[in-house]
Amino acid sequence: MRASMLVLPTSYEKLHWLNYKVIGCTRCPRLSHYIRQIGQEKVKRFAREEYWARPLPSWGDPNARLLIVGLAPAAHGGNRTGRMFTGDGSGDWLARAMYESGFATMPTSRSKDDGLVLKDAYITAAIRCAPPDNKPLPTEMANCSQYLVTELQILNNIKVIVMLGKIGFDAYCRAAGLRKIRFSHGASYEINGKMLLVSYHPSRQNTNTGKMTWKMWFDIFEKARSILGSYGQRTT
């Protein structure tokens, strides 16, 4: 009689269950209250839309070699649409850069059912709920950190990590146990077989003021594509 074989869950299945936990998370009362409040009050231009108003799951290719670590959902962007970097200017900057560098199928990111597919890339964030004034508290950062830690354990094909903004940078470093590296736009670090690329966040505050130009931004993704090209085609 043949012994039955143990079937281990795939990366897709592990990420699916992790995202299920994220969506139901209520660890941070301040954030839970805020995202629900925003979903009820809305803004005039989205008054007829039903807001997601829950923690946001990560998304993308479970076998990705590129990981994007953002800050948090925007109150009327991801918190409305239900998908990270979707429905606001930051999302369009990211989608366009990923499209032009071969990591996405569309140059815009408007809704979670718009048909956008990420190729060899996965998007996550330091905080899964939109924080007031885009400023999460240290306790809220700590509460969300375990989700990122778990994702890093599941996403075992990652070769390049793009960290957006100081908060995204700090969140990744904390989750990966890294110290003694400094945040600076355009900086890169090769650590434990992975390349870390540091970037300003594509927020309106940065892009409208010229603190970050399109060239500064797109150079990050061209570099990511070049690095992954040096590894050759992925095998999964």
148 assigned to some structural domain? yes
Q: Which residues contact 13 (CB under 8 A, 6 or more apart)?
A: none
Inter-CA distances, 207 with 93, 98, 112, 185, 213, Å: 9, 17, 24, 13, 6
69 closest CA partner among 82, 58, 77:
58
- Helices 165-176 and 138-154 sit at what angle, rounded to 10 degrees? 60
Task: Please list the ranges in the chain whose pLDDT falls under 50.
Answer: 1, 235-236
222 assigned to some structural domain? yes
Q: Note the pLDDT of residue 1.
A: 46
Residue 166 structural domain: 11-230
pTM assigned to the model:
0.94
88 assigned to some structural domain? yes
Question: Which pair of tokens denotes residue 44?
Answer: 């005039």
184 assigned to some structural domain? yes
pLDDT in tens, 184-193: 999 999 999 9
Number of domains in the chain: 1
What CA–CA distance (Å, rounded) separates 197 from 169? 9
Burial class (CB in 10 A: 0-12, 13-18, 19+), 66: buried
85 assigned to some structural domain? yes
1 assigned to some structural domain? no
Q: What is the CATH number of the domain that holds 194?
A: 3.40.470.10
